[in-house]
Amino acid sequence: MTTLTEHQIPGTTTPTTRPEPASSGDRTPSDTDRGPAMRVEGRRGDRYGEILTPEALAFLADLHEAFAGRRHDLLVARQRRRADIAGGTDPDFLASTRPVRDDTGWSVAGAGPGLEDRRVEITGPTDPKMAINALNSGAKVWLADAEDASSPTWRNVIEGQLALHDAIRGTLAFTSEAGKDYALRSSTLTDLPTIVFRPRGWHLAEKHLRYVDRAGTTMAASASLVDAGLYLFHNATELIARGRGPYLYLPKLEGHREARLWNDIFCWVQARLGIERGTIRATVLVETLPAAFEMDEILYELREHCAGLNAGRWDYLFSIIKAFRTRGDSYVLPDRDQLTMTVPFMRAYTELLVQTCHKRGAHAIGGMSAFIPDRRRPDITATAMQKVHADKRREAGDGFDGTWVAHPDLIPAAQEEFDAVLGDRPHQVSRQRDDVTVGQHELLDIGSARRQGATVTAGGCARTSPSACGTSSPGCGAWVRRRSTTSWRTPPRPRSRGRRSGSGSLPGPGRSAACGSRATGSSRCSRRSWTTCPGRRGTGWRTPRRCSVRWRSPRSSRPS
């Protein structure tokens, strides 16, 4: 049998040869004089200087110098892969990495202190109020989310880091505008849920920080490197001293080479901060279609630092939509409320995740239930609780070691179902799912949901479209309005410069019912950006492409 270090995924370095950071003594005086540097272009608020210290900015600059180029290359590779799929190439398991998948002799590092029992994890943004609520919730783990749950404004980014800094040291407190005080139930970190921080994905930039390289070229900083870099720089040593560790959730990965980059970053950070190699632990969200075909490889690349994988079900569905949006009717997903985790292609994805994790000694964490209780509506709450119980009962029965909830009121329901299966055990990694056989066909059988009776209806489209635009969904709307999804802050809504069509008015000739803009010689709105197109009114986002709103011809009842 081949040994752990003999596998060579193309381009891989072995653990004994991974790059280490260069010390300041390796630089020539001219190199040191010329950079690199990190320039702050966002406003300086109260206490921002505690996060944006000269040392932290120098750390970020060196982090970008070491890894920003590789990040760029991986993003280019993503675009090529998407073009291949759009051209008709189906994702598949890589032939070049088959030796890694077939070898049963390697495993991952596993759980760090405080991650042994993850049966219920609560997710939420990092603003002070929500951080305190999460840490007081009674969950086993708090996913401190700087990604999907937080609108990436400069204020949210830096004040979220401040809240984490204070929470780890037991000093976090908050007073609302109404005068209500919030405080941690304990200042001892080990008495609270274990903190796992989720930075933003590789594809996002942090425009309020500019990286200046040695040649003087400037570019927007990587949001991933900024979020993870600041968190680890300020808190890694403190977390270890307080009986926990620096733990991260890694979002939106699309393959093992992106996991390899994270592993090299962890090695670099640990050497730079003087902490033991292997101290950082990462849990990877499998929430893109390409990643589903590289679970073993992702675990292998991160084996020194990996704790588990998570089934990010909703982003996984979005990834399927994005990948196959040009493939025709057979790839159209049914109504969202009929797209449950029991449809065959989603069940194949989750069962393969559990089997892969347990084979490698990693935790398998279940996904988020899309059911939220309403304390003012007992009937809605009762229905939501029934669905949550059923969802978590299925996950625990399938072999997952823990699950996510988005609201404290759902913790008892999720814990009850996992307690029934786990009992006093912290997890069920020992349960090997040898009965699972999943291949390319099972993962790509998108039409299986509709063959089982799920349907595409006008009502489903009507319910989905407002949520996608943020006009009726409280979470999406709050995110678009620059708040955390459940934040206490209420900044002003972004203005639109476009003019609005009359409410309920019919479109005139050559106009779109959605945005009222005249289509000049084509079936698409001629407005050049979302902020100037009334059809995208209030989103506050810009795009270099033309508005995607289609118009209805006055001479035909069929959309063009």
Inter-CA distances, 60 with 52, 133, 159, 174, 248, Å:
10, 30, 18, 29, 17
pLDDT lower than 50: segments of the chain: 1-6, 12-32, 470-472, 487-560
Residue 391 near residue 369, CB atoms below 8 Å: yes
Place of tokens 């959730």: 249
Q: What is the pLDDT of residue 480?
A: 59
Structure letter (DSSP) for residue 332: -
Residue 364 near residue 481, CB atoms below 8 Å: no
Q: Name 124's Cβ contacts closer than 8 Å, sequence gap at least 6.
A: 130, 131, 133, 134, 142, 143, 144, 145, 149, 406, 484, 486
Place of tokens 């799929």: 85
Q: What is the pLDDT of residue 532?
A: 40
Q: Name 148's Cβ contacts closer than 8 Å, sequence gap at least 6.
A: 251, 315, 485
Give the DSSP H/E element, type plus range, for residue 143: strand 141-145
Phi, psi of 233 (to 5 degrees): -60, -45
Report which residue type is found at 200.
R
Q: What is the pLDDT of residue 541?
A: 40
Cα–Cα dist 403/383, whole Å: 20
Closest CA to 188 of 142, 127, 244, 129: 244
Q: What is the pLDDT of residue 223?
A: 98
pTM of the model: 0.81
Residue 391 near residue 341, CB atoms below 8 Å: yes
Cα–Cα dist 520/527, whole Å: 10
Report which residue type is found at 357.
C
Place of tokens 């505690």: 50
Report which residue type is found at 483.
R
Give the helix ranges, DSSP H, for 98-153: 98-102, 128-135
Give the DSSP H/E element, type plus range, for residue 61: helix 54-86
Cα–Cα dist 530/306, whole Å: 40
Place of tokens 């093992």: 256
